[in-house]
Amino acid sequence: AWNEAVQVNDFFTLQKLHTELAAFSPSRPYDLVYYDAFAPSAQPELWTKEVFEKLYGMMRTNGVLVTYCSKGDVRRALQAAGFSVEKVPGPPGKREMLRALKA
């Protein structure tokens, strides 16, 4: 369900948020961001350096952001925001995805 925290174990809580990213401010920094916006062609405003800078600021040092989008423009925007980025094998049906680390 939206906006409900689910305690997976003592060390991991999962929460799916339904909010506008521009207006969002977390109560504590994140260790992991699963970035699953629509494709850059459908929602280009969600794939900018400025958006990734905001996400970078919401994360702990050594936090990880993952996304199924592996386009070069997205990789470069993540890098420009401060992330260290690598392509990794994707899930079934998806050749590659991006993993970005906040150093």
61-86 average pLDDT score? 98
Region of residue 77 (phi > 0: left; psi between -120 and 50: alpha; otherwise: beta): alpha
What pLDDT, on a 0 to 100 scale, did the predictor assign at position 35?
Answer: 95
Domain ranges of the chain: 29-102
Which tens digit of pLDDT belongs to each residue from 10-22? 998 888 888 888 8
**With pLDDT > 70 as the criterion, what percentage of the chain qualifies?**
100
The two beta strands, 30-35 and 59-67, are: parallel
The architecture CATH gives domain 29-102: 3-Layer(aba) Sandwich (3.40)
Helix (H, G, I), strand (E, B) or coil at 46: helix
The runs of H, that is alpha helices, within the chain are 49-57, 72-80
92's CB contacts (< 8 A; 6+ apart) are none
30-49 average pLDDT score? 94
pLDDT at 78 exceeding the cut of 90? yes
What pLDDT, on a 0 to 100 scale, did the predictor assign at position 18?
Answer: 86
